[in-house]
């Protein structure tokens, strides 16, 4: 240390003096609610606009077991939906290595339990609170909150590039963007942005995009909103008269969308969902088999604790909310806008996984298939006539996989809208095999017919 040249020290000093305060807190520290082994490998803030201080909060978990050199180990990015819901729901309730469990055996609330179905078993896993104003992310002014998917993607691109600069080994790792629900917009948006932006950048500044995965996504709302009535009717949840009433409400949403009356179109879609809720009397449209809604209030209680915020290096003046109303309002006119064309480019130039929990009545199997059928892509005919294969995990029926070329679709049985919460091990097997192109996601599918998907594990 003594021999360090003074100019280097000076640069180092200058560097630190320019970094905003919150960077000093990016090494998580343990507390009673947050045992050391459950802490993220890194967490803190990634600037999206250094001039104003707006920044995206992140938590990162390195792979638990390396099956490839670190410089080649895939990085998964997870984006929650909403619009305006925090990705820390994904982190602490769905796919992270430590989760809050409402059915905890020892009867204690707010105790983190390790998740054997975590998505960071063999990949790095990064949660981003997106867009700014969501979760622990900072929107310096309400005007800076994105109002469309291009603005969302621009911020995400800044956050992802600053993340990959945190460690020289991050640069070369293949990046998979994943997410759920309204991230059916965000995931294509950032994927598309990267595909367009990369060729304009020197190789060293490109984002190493390897694929995108969307769970129960809203992507082409005009096709998707028209499916609730038939889906509920043929599931036996509404009768023919109710089907007709719901169809009238759906047509209104479709009509307003086609007219480009965006705010009214969003309201019309909300009316469809409220009608369906009212007709069925279900606990939640996110999973028609549930007797109570998903117990995500646990996450709110946990993340509002001072010691937990400290442990994560989150700005302590922020009161964490599951979903932000200001972000919801900023993106109100975006809801019914389609990003199907972005998925079409991604399927041509990258690879795409669309998976759906079977019990979801909001953005489920029928809803996603309605827009997939209409995709403009030269492989769509082959995809639609490809065999839908029975998918097993550890010898048990887990769902169905349909794949052609770069497009895969998975139906996850026994799961609602939050697939990793409901079927942790299946969701882990799915993401690992899709990324690594194994089993039913391999490119020589003929060889796999009749073999156990995860037999080699
Ligand atoms: C990691 O690998 C070791 C050795 O192969 C194994 O014992 C352990 O169960 C693995 N852990 C996980 C989380 O897969
Ligand atoms: C949007 O739709 C509403 C309700 O149908 C209508 O009153 C309003 O005039 C429409 N606005 C535009 C700009 O078309
Ligand atoms: C559905 O709406 C009607 C009319 O507003 C109301 O009377 C009824 O209680 C609602 N049903 C449920 C299950 O919420
Ligand atoms: C924490 O967030 C508040 C409110 O968004 C902001 O005013 C403050 O500057 C932030 N603190 C730091 C250290 O970034």
Mean of pLDDT values over 135-159: 97
Structure confidence at residue 102 (pLDDT): 83
Three-state secondary structure readout of 3-38: CCCHHHHHHHHHHHHHCCHHHHHCCCCCECCECHHH
65 lines ligand 1 (CB under 6 A): yes
Give 402's strand partners: 409
Q: Is the pLDDT of residue 113 over 80?
A: yes
- On the 0-12 / 13-18 / 19+ scale of CB atoms within 10 A, 16 is exposed
CB contact set of 291 (below 8 Å; sequence gap of 6+): 283
Domain 27-221+299-442 in CATH 3.40.718.10? The answer is no
Q: Express each pLDDT in 4-36 by its tens digit.
A: 343 443 444 333 333 343 443 455 666 667 888
Q: Ligand 1 atom closest to Cα of 64?
A: 13
Q: How many CB atoms lie within 10 A of CB 388?
A: 12
Q: Is 181 a catalytic residue?
A: yes
The residue extents of the domains of the chain are: 27-221+299-442, 223-280
Give the residue, by CA position, lying nearest to ligand 3 atom 1: 278
Q: What tokens were used for 353? A: 């996984």
- Spot the catalytic one: 129, 220, 360, 363: 360
For 398-455, the pLDDT digits (tens) are 999 999 999 999 999 999 999 999 999 999 999 999 999 999 999 865 444 444 333 3
- Confirm whether pTM is higher than 0.85: yes
How confident is the model at residue 69, as a pLDDT?
93
* Confidence category of residue 244, pLDDT binned at 50, 70, 90: very high
Pocket of ligand 2 (CB under 6 A): 256, 259, 261, 264
CB–CB of 88/320 below 8 Å? yes
Q: If you take atom 8 of ligand 1, which residue's CA is the nearest one?
A: 65
Ligand 1 pocket check for 114: Cβ under 6 Å: no
Q: Tell me the average pLDDT across 96-114.
A: 83
Closest CA to 102 of 114, 91, 90, 110: 110
**Ligand 4: centre distance to CA 46 (Å):** 14
Please give the average per-residue pLDDT across 276-290, as a whole number.
97
Annotation says 417 is catalytic:
yes
What is the predicted pLDDT for the residue at 133?
97
Mean pLDDT of 251-259: 98
When pLDDT is averaged across residues 206-215 and rounded to a whole number, the result is 97
CA distance 178 to 216: 11
Distance 158 CA to ligand 4 centre (A): 19
What average pLDDT is seen over the chain? 91
Strand order in the sheet with 42-49: 42-49, 54-61, 124-128, 75-79, 175-180, 209-215, 352-357, 407-412, 396-404, 389-393
CA–CA separation, 368 and 364 (whole Å): 6
The answer to whether the CB of 187 falls within 8 A of the CB of 177 is yes
């Amino acid at each position: 240390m003594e021999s360090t040249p003074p100019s280097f020290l000076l640069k180092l000093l200058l560097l630190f003096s320019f970094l905003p305060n919150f960077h000093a807190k990016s090494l998580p520290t343990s507390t009673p609610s947050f045992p050391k082994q459950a802490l993220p490998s890194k967490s803190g803030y990634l600037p999206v606009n250094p001039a104003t201080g707006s920044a995206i909060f992140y938590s990162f978990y390195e792979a638990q077991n390396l099956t490839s050199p670190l410089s080649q180990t895939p990085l998964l990015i997870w984006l929650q939906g909403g619009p305006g819901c925090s990705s820390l729901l994904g982190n602490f309730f769905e796919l992270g290595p430590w989760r809050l469990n409402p059915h905890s055996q020892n009867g204690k609330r707010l105790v983190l339990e390790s998740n054997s179905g975590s998505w960071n078993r063999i990949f790095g896993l990064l949660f981003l609170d997106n867009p700014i104003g969501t979760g622990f992310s900072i929107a310096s002014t309400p005007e800076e909150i994105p109002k469309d998917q291009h603005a969302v993607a621009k911020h995400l691109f800044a956050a992802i590039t600053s993340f990959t600069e945190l460690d020289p080994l991050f640069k070369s790792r293949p990046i998979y963007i994943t997410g759920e629900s309204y991230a059916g917009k965000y995931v294509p948006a950032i994927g598309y942005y990267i595909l367009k932006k990369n060729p304009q950048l020197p190789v060293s500044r490109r984002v190493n995009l390897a694929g995108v995965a969307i769970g129960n996504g809203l992507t082409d709302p005009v096709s998707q909103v028209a499916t609730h009535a038939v889906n509920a009717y043929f599931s036996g949840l509404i009768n023919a008269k109710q089907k007709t009433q719901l169809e009238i409400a759906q047509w209104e949403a479709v009509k307003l969308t086609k007219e480009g009356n965006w705010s009214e179109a969003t309201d019309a879609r909300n009316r469809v969902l409220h009608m369906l809720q009212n007709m069925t009397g279900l606990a939640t449209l996110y999973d028609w088999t549930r007797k109570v809604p998903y117990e995500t209030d646990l996450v709110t209680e946990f993340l509002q604790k001072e010691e937990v915020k400290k442990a994560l290096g989150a700005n302590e003046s922020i009161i964490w909310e599951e979903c932000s109303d200001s972000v919801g309002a900023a993106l109100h006119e975006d809801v019914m806008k389609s990003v199907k064309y972005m998925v079409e480019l991604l399927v041509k130039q990258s690879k795409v996984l669309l998976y759906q929990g079977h019990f979801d009545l909001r953005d489920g199997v029928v809803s996603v298939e309605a827009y997939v059928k209409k995709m403009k892509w030269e492989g769509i005919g082959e995809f639609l006539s490809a065999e839908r294969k029975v998918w097993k995990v550890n010898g048990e029926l887990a769902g169905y996989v349909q794949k052609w070329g770069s497009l895969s679709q998975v139906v996850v049985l026994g799961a609602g809208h939050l697939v990793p919460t409901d079927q942790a091990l299946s969701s882990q097997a799915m993401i690992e095999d899709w990324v690594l192109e194994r089993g039913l996601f391999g490119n020589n599918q003929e060889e796999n017919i009749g073999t156990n998907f995860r037999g080699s594990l």
